[in-house]
Amino acid sequence: MKIDIILAGVGGQGILSIASIIGYAAVKKGLYLKQAEVHGMSQRGGDVQSNFRLADYPIASDLIPKGKADLIISVEPMEALRYLPWLSKDGMLITNDQPFININNYPDESVLKAELDKLPRKVVINADQVAKDLGSVRSANMVILGAASPFINMDFSALENAVSEVFARKGEEVVNVNLACLQAGREFAEKNK
Amino acid sequence: MAKQLFLGDEAIAQAALDAGLSGVYAYPGTPSTEITEYIQHSKQAANGNVHREWASNEKTALEAAIGMSYAGKRAMACMKHVGLNVAADPFMNVAITGANGGLVILVADDPSMHSSQDEQDSRFFAKFAFIPVFEPSNQQEAYDMTYEAFDYSEKYRIPVMIRITTRLAHSRAGVEQRPARPQNEINLHPNKKQFILLPALARKYYNELLDKQIPMEAESENSKYNKFIEGKDKSLGIITSGIAYNYLMENYVETTCPYPVLKINQYPLPVKMITKLVDECDSVLVLEEGYPLIEEQLRGLLNRGGNIKGRLDGTISRVGELNPNMVGSALGIKQEEGSPIPEIVAPRPPALCVACPHIDSYIALNEAMVEHGEGKVFADIGCYTLGALPPYNAIYSTVDMGASITMAKGAADAGLRPTVGVIGDSTFTHSGITSLLDCVWDKTPVTIMILDNSTTGMTGGQDSHAFGKIETICLGLGVEKEHIRIIKPLKNRHAENVQVIKEELAYEGVSVIIPTRECIQTLNKRVREKSK
Ligand SMILES: Cc1ncc(C[n+]2csc(CCOP(=O)(O)OP(=O)(O)O)c2C)c(N)n1
Ligand code: SF4
């Protein structure tokens, strides 16, 4: 078993929390894991990605080879497309559809949508809205993780436990809203995959 | 003990603590910063009273680490590759004095220049200095090799370089820890003259350093970190250094590599192992994460055998970090690729944060400079380097830390008027102070802007040694009081700030303008932590 995931977004959108939750669950299961992160200039609105690799055998490279990623999980739609060369032919793309516009030449909504429509296997969700409805705008990343969860070879309860553990020190309220976001994302994906 | 998920940097930090570290000395620099930060947050370090404050720069850091080693305790100096340039003087010379307590010099290189000005390979520096190198290929080796590096250093009384690169520094994997060892007691070197490099003594110690190379090479031949992996197909032999091994193996996940492989992680180079590989194979492919150090030595200037392949003959790109696809292609293995990046995907370069104080400083400076034309502002390294990009286009140089002031000086000496140096507070105390002293000594007409945002912003907001001291330092250096101008970089102060800058540009002497306002990121962090 192996899963290779490219996590994508813009600095500050919380892709590293997604990584730490899957990572936490994976370590509990005794899986091998490698996760290459981008540090440094990331806080300043640049693009960020993380190569996240899980397997039941030791993993060689910290970087995912092109064409081998099983999933792209993105909290921003244009950023999702940046990593298409890494997505395998039958790979799946899960992305938020809400753009983060901090550059002048950001593509029009319609062209962006047209590009996403071309992809055979995808889940495109308005994660910002779902998170807002559940009372925590900042938890859109958990909605995205929930939407990706059916495609990560791991029990949903393992991810739920990881969310509870990782957010525990922020209090019960934060844990609950993040769990609700995770659940809502999953339900959406089950219906729309 | 269960495995811990560690960044390569964190594995090194934890290993140093477990090996009985008494002090880490460092100046921040991507991708090495997290090592010291880990130790700063570690309970184990606090309980052991391990020294863990930042140093002013890499030279002061290494010198303090040498002092701790002198006293018999275990010390580690950490820096990014260009930091080693700053620390080059103590680095070259501590090879000759040797170490007493275990001394590890951790250098994190940044091939592909993800956040650096160059991609220099620190293994060349180590070779230059005759210092052994440990170059782990994964997080577990990073832990194990660091743990053992201190013993090695004490055994041969020599500093050890640990060389890592960005991918290992910033990638996480499960790591198994070893039992913690107590710190050393104070114990001076039996030879009380060991650290005196008077020529007569230095000649003796230099010969001793050269003599140490022989047993150290034998260590490399027998090291568990240098592995000869047999292969049936002798048409090619492969040498890998550091993490290049992983990219090779990634191409053989479902099959086994048919060629003999020599995995090198410890230097001086194991010449016997290399000879065996070269002798039994028709040609050799050298895979190195960095400059072609091994390849160049094997090949020589003429490559008369013509059978050494790698970065120098174009089999592998001459520049940049490796990846599994590059290595696969070099081996003639067909590489897959997903669909191309759609054309609509636009680059998203990093930018100054919204409400960053540097923005207001640059807008004011640009307005004051309009009448003087382009090409007269020399800057430095930090968040404010982004002033080189639109919409500011405010600066014309960024070379090395501290160069803004001295380049502005040199250009002024050449007759360029006016010249401006723009430098951050942390960069100023790193290596701008002596530059400013040169200006004062020469009474050079320069205008220096020291952007005081109370922090080392670029690397994530570490404390700045300049905090609360910049004005006093400038006065102490001899800058005239009336030409030290403190301004507040804010939109509503724009007109008066432009006026101050114009006045100082007109002064034929040394002026210092200090725009003072806290970095938005550290400000927000403080507010968040307070509200908790
Ligand atoms: C010799 C050297 N050491 C470290 C670095 C990494 N580095 C780049 S900028 C910077 C700090 C900048 O801080 P400051 O001057 O206060 O500017 P700010 O980023 O806060 O605007 C550091 C540590 C480097 N480039 N070169
Ligand atoms: S981190 Fe601080 S200094 Fe750097 S761009 Fe952001 S606000 Fe400015």
What architecture does CATH give domain B227-330?
A: 3-Layer(aba) Sandwich (3.40)
Q: pLDDT at residue A53 above 70?
A: yes
Best of B344, B358, B385, B453 to substitute, by most chain A Cβ atoms within 10 angstroms, is: B344
Q: How many CB pairs under 8 A join A and B?
A: 149
- For strands B160-165 and B103-109, give the pairing: parallel
- For strands A47-55 and A32-36, give the pairing: antiparallel
pLDDT, tens digit (0-9, with 9 covering 90-100), for B453-471: 999 999 999 999 999 999 9
Report how far Cα A26 is from the mean position of its chain's Cα atoms: 15
Cβ pair A34:B172 closer than 8 A: yes
List phi, psi (to 5°) of B264.
-105, 125
CA quadruple A134, A137, A143, A145: dihedral, nearest 10? -140
List phi, psi (to 5°) of B247.
-70, -35
Q: Where in chain B are all domains bearing CATH 3.40.50.920?
A: 227-330
Ranges of chain B with pLDDT below 70: 1, 532
| A107 contact residues in B (CB cutoff 8 A) | 344-346
Shortest-distance ligand to the CA of residue B353: 2
- From chain B residues 185-224, the ones with a CB under 8 A of any chain A CB are none
How would you class B116 by CB atoms within 10 Å of its CB: exposed for 0-12, middle for 13-18, buried for 19 or more? buried
Q: pLDDT at residue A42 above 60?
A: no
| Residue B531 confidence (pLDDT) | 78
Put simply, whether B5 touches A (Cβ < 8 Å) is yes
Of A10, A62, A66, the CB nearest to B337: A66
Q: pLDDT at residue A41 above 70?
A: no
Could you tell me the fold of the domain covering B357-524? Answer: Rossmann fold (3.40.50)
Which of A131, A183, A49, A17 has the alpha carbon at shortest distance from B114? A49
Identify the CATH number of the domain defined by range B4-221: 3.40.50.970
Which of B315, B278, B316, B311 has the alpha carbon at shortest distance from B296? B311
Gap from CA of B62 to ligand 1 centroid (Å): 17
Taking the C-alpha atoms of residue A34 and residue B274, their distance in angstroms, rounded to an integer, is 30
Whole-number CA gyration radius for chain B: 25
Q: Please tell me the total count of domains within chain A.
A: 1
- The answer to whether B311 and B239 are in contact (CB under 8 A) is no
Give the residue whose CA is nearest to atom 8 of ligand 2: B356
Ligand 1 site, residue B382, Cβ cutoff 6 A:
yes
| Residue B529 confidence (pLDDT) | 86
Amino acid letter for position B171 = S
Instruction: Using CA coordinates, name the residue in chain B closest to A45.
Output: B350
Best of B255, B333, B348 to substitute, by most chain A Cβ atoms within 10 angstroms, is: B348
Q: Which atom of ligand 2 is nearest to the CA of B382?
A: 4
Beta-carbon contacts of B234 under 8 Å, excluding residues fewer than 6 positions away, are: B259, B260, B280, B281, B282
Helix (H) or strand (E) holding B139, with range, is helix B139-156
Best of A52, A63, A90, A101 to substitute, by most chain B Cβ atoms within 10 angstroms, is: A63
Check which CATH number belongs to the domain holding A75 and give it. Answer: 3.40.920.10
Instruction: Using CA coordinates, name the residue in chain A closest to B532.
Output: A170
pLDDT, tens digit (0-9, with 9 covering 90-100), for B412-425: 999 999 999 999 99
Give the residue whose CA is nearest to atom 6 of ligand 2: B353
Q: Which atom of ligand 1 is nearest to the CA of B431?
A: 1
Taking the C-alpha atoms of residue B415 and residue B402, their distance in angstroms, rounded to an integer, is 21
- The answer to whether A80 and A118 are in contact (CB under 8 A) is no
Count of beta carbons in the 10 Å neighbourhood of residue B46: 12
Taking the C-alpha atoms of residue A78 and residue A84, their distance in angstroms, rounded to an integer, is 11
Cβ pair A87:B339 closer than 8 A: yes
Q: Which atom of ligand 1 is nearest to the CA of B116?
A: 25
How would you class B324 by CB atoms within 10 Å of its CB: exposed for 0-12, middle for 13-18, buried for 19 or more? buried
A40 confidence band (pLDDT: 50, 70, 90): low
Report how far Cα B4 is from the mean position of its chain's Cα atoms: 25
Q: List, in sequence order, every beta strand (DSSP E) within B270-355.
A: 283-288, 308-309
| B521 contact residues in A (CB cutoff 8 A) | 43
Instruction: Using CA coordinates, name the residue in chain B closest to A9.
Output: B348
User: What is the pTM assigned to this prediction?
Assistant: 0.97
Cβ pair A41:B350 closer than 8 A: yes
Ligand 1 site, residue B459, Cβ cutoff 6 A:
yes
| B33 contact residues in A (CB cutoff 8 A) | 39
- The answer to whether A141 and A15 are in contact (CB under 8 A) is yes
Q: Where in chain B are all domains bearing CATH 3.40.50.970?
A: 4-221, 357-524
Cβ pair A34:B460 closer than 8 A: no
- The answer to whether A24 and A150 are in contact (CB under 8 A) is no
CA of A81 vs chain B CAs: smallest distance (Å): 6
| A102 contact residues in B (CB cutoff 8 A) | 348, 351
Tokens representing B191? Answer: 């030879």
Whole-number CA gyration radius for chain A: 16
Put simply, whether B255 touches A (Cβ < 8 Å) is no
Task: Check residue A57 and report its DSSP letter.
Answer: S
Cβ pair B170:A68 closer than 8 A: no
Cis previous bond, B350, omega within 30: no
| Residue B1 confidence (pLDDT) | 61
Taking the C-alpha atoms of residue B256 and residue B234, their distance in angstroms, rounded to an integer, is 14
- From chain B residues 469-508, the ones with a CB under 8 A of any chain A CB are none
| B6 contact residues in A (CB cutoff 8 A) | none
Task: Please give the residue range of the domain that contains residue A58.
Answer: 2-192
Q: pLDDT at residue A153 above 60?
A: yes
